[in-house]
C-alpha cells in the first residue's frame, strides 16, 4: 500500500467489526473503499482472513490493536518498493 490509514481500537469487539470500522473511516477520509488491512500477527487466528471483501493479513510492523487499512495490489505481500508495514 502506498496510502493507508492507521486505526487504533482496543475495544472488546471482534476483529471483523474492528476492520469494518477502520474501513469505514478510510472511505470517509479518502473516498475509496479499502481492500487491504494489516494487523499484528497475534490478532489473527489464521494466516489470512477476508472481511467484506477486505483481505486481512499479518504484519509484525503493525502494533497490537492497530489496523493499517488501504488499497493494496498483488498477493498481499510486501515488496521492497512498497511503502507501509
pLDDT for the residue 73: 77
The number of distinct structural domains making up the chain is: 1
Note whether residue 82 is domain-resident.
no
Over the stretch 35-47, which tens digit does the pLDDT of each residue have? 999 999 999 988 7
Note whether residue 41 is domain-resident.
yes
pLDDT for the residue 76: 52
Note whether residue 75 is domain-resident.
no
Domain that residue 57 falls in: 4-70
Note whether residue 53 is domain-resident.
yes
> Count of alpha carbons within 13 Å of 45, Cβ hemisphere only?
3
Does residue 11 contact residue 35 with C-beta atoms inside 8 Å?
no
Note whether residue 14 is domain-resident.
yes
pLDDT at 79 over 80: no
Amino acid at each position: 500500500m502506498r496510502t493507508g490509514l492507521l486505526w487504533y481500537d482496543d475495544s472488546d469487539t471482534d476483529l471483523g467489526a474492528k476492520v469494518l470500522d477502520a474501513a469505514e473511516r478510510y472511505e470517509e477520509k479518502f473516498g475509496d473503499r479499502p481492500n487491504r488491512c494489516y494487523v499484528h500477527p497475534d490478532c489473527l487466528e489464521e494466516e489470512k482472513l477476508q472481511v467484506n471483501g477486505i483481505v486481512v493479513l499479518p504484519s509484525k510492523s503493525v502494533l497490537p490493536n492497530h489496523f493499517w487499512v488501504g488499497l493494496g495490489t498483488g498477493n498481499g505481500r510486501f515488496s521492497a518498493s512498497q511503502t507501509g508495514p
